[in-house]
Amino acid sequence: MLDEFERPLTDSERRRLAARISHIKRRMGMSLLVRTSLSGFIVIGILWGWTMLASNASWMFITIFWLSIGLGIFSWAYWSEWRDSAKRIRSINSAVARNIASVVRIRSEEMIEFEEHEDEGACYAFQLDDDRIVFVSGQEFYRTARFPSTDFELIDIADEAGNLAETRIVKHGEPLAPVRTIASADARDLSIPFHLSVVSGRLEDIERILTTQS
């Protein structure tokens, strides 16, 4: 069975988003300053040392030169990460204000797994009870204790601009093992649909179905 619906955020989801904002703010403080300073100090220190060994210029000139470059790199790195963090906080706040979770719930007793090809992420085909097959794929769907299972929800929480603020998997059923696994060499010859695409048919005919799709 495949259900798609939208609902308001739960109290648990609001707490999770608030905790994420708090975590980002902590990283934007002294932690960010220390991390960028330490990284810059190590890199510039190594370059300064190499230059001292390889150059006949005065140590003062070399030191001033690399300190100037290091300050520029540090300022850029610090500001870039701080800006990205601030943008992330705005997105999460916007998602909370929007107050909508998009949910896809899948119930299935049979699943085929496709071996990963060229870092494209995990890929599964779940048999639905009305002779349809739904595909779930992406970097966030590697096998864990929560996924795949016989009953699960994929929950996306987006901000008002449509950008994802959070995506997660909620397990309801029992762990589900694949009835078989299609090797990556064989999967290359198949036209595998995009994430959450649905096709008609049964898993035992998957190769024929996906060859027909192409």
8 — pLDDT class (breaks 50, 70, 90) = very high
Instruction: Tell me which residue range forms the domain holding 70.
Output: 10-98
**Is the domain of 105 the same as that of 78?**
no
- pTM for the structure as a whole: 0.75
- What whole-number distance in Å separates Cα of residue 125 and Cα of residue 127? 7
Look at residue 130 and tell me if it is in a domain. yes
- Choosing from 98, 123, 153, the residue where a domain stops is 98
Look at residue 3 and tell me if it is in a domain. no
pLDDT for 42: 80
Three-class DSSP category at 136: strand
Answer for the pair 168, 95: CB distance below 8 angstroms, yes or no.
no
Checking phi first, is residue 162 left (phi over 0); if not, alpha (psi -120 to 50) or beta?
Answer: left
46 — pLDDT class (breaks 50, 70, 90) = confident
Task: Write the pLDDT tens digit of every residue in 131-172.
Answer: 999 999 999 999 988 899 999 999 999 999 999 999 999 999
Nearest alpha-carbon partner for 154 in 80, 101, 100: 101
32 — pLDDT class (breaks 50, 70, 90) = low
- Choosing from 98, 119, 153, the residue where a domain stops is 98
**Is the domain of 55 the same as that of 105?**
no
pLDDT for 157: 96
- What whole-number distance in Å separates Cα of residue 103 and Cα of residue 144? 20
- Choosing from 48, 80, 98, the residue where a domain stops is 98
The average confidence (pLDDT) of the chain is 88
pLDDT for 30: 66
Task: Write the pLDDT tens digit of every residue in 49-107.
Answer: 888 888 787 888 888 887 888 787 777 777 788 888 899 999 999 999 999 999 999 99
Look at residue 1 and tell me if it is in a domain. no
pLDDT for 127: 97
Number of compact structural domains in the chain = 2
Amino acid identity for residue 62 in this structure: I
Q: Which residues pair with 111 in a beta bridge?
A: 126
128 — pLDDT class (breaks 50, 70, 90) = very high
- Report the helix count and the strand count for the chain, using DSSP H and E: 5, 9
